[in-house]
Amino acid sequence: MVATVINFSSNEAPFLTQCVEEALFFSDQIVVCFADHFFDGTPENLPLIYGVAKAHPKISFIQYPFSKENFYGSHPPSFWHNMGRMLGYHFTQEEYVLFLDVDEIAEGARFAKWLKSFPILDYEALRLANYWYFREAKYRAKTIEDTPLLVRREVIDYEGLMHEKERAGLYHMLEGKKARLVGEEAPFFHHYSWVRSKEQMQRKVRSWGHRSERDWEHLVEEEFGRAFSGRDFVHGYEFEEVKPKLVPCQYNSVEQPPENVKILTTRDVHKIDLGLSFALGGML
């Protein structure tokens, strides 16, 4: 019933095992999508990603080409993030699609139990409540967010998938019954996007799609020049200290892609893009 599409890069490798293992509790299909370069044009650590894929042989991995010259023409910073979700969607078959970033980790057993009792068939889309963390997994924001998005597959369209506001834009474009902050009283998801060392955080802000929106590198330098103040520089949230649930993992690198990695060419991506934008369906 649920296919989970996970956006991934090697910067987030420590999160993947826990993200996938928790998603297996409620997912009938899992598709992990990654580009062959970071979004600043520097080469990805493909041997590390292939090692990750080899460690998860039952999961589908989709590699797509990044073009620093923008083979699609001009586009907003969200374009390449949306590209992973669009391609992942193309390779799903289940009735509902859950769009996650790899640093968004579910409490899988609890969420699976909830799905069995919640009238999900009454809804076109749900934005699922999540906790948000900063610097270390023990620092949890007091503000609840809702970035994970669960959508009925048949109502998703190309314009929504490629919206400049990403998942939030897709949600707001959809018609029909939908809900936000679902599970707010006790969120099922934990978002660890900014749980990193100084070096890891600098690598993140230099290479992601939104790197030009603020002087992130300076903000990171300032942040790690002092003890944690209790507020983050991303949203300005206040934090409380909790018992960490994150279990980081490491992988061995391998030079050749395992069988569960599908490598797309630029031509493949164009065909999928055209097929979805003209509602023609699968063309590969």
Segments of 8-156 assigned E as strands: 29-35, 60-64, 96-101, 104-106, 125-128, 130-134, 136-141, 149-152
| CATH class held by domain 2-277 | alpha beta
pLDDT at res. 280: 41
pTM above threshold 0.85: yes
pLDDT at res. 279: 61
Give the residue ranges of the chain where pLDDT is below 70: 68-74, 279-284
pLDDT at res. 74: 61
pLDDT at res. 68: 67
Instruction: Kindly give, in sequence order, each residue whose CB lies less than 8 Å from that of residue 140, ignoring residues fewer than 6 positions away.
Output: 131, 132, 133, 239, 240, 241, 242
pLDDT at res. 218: 97
pLDDT at res. 122: 97
Three-state DSSP class for 245?
coil
**Domain boundaries defined on the chain:** 2-277
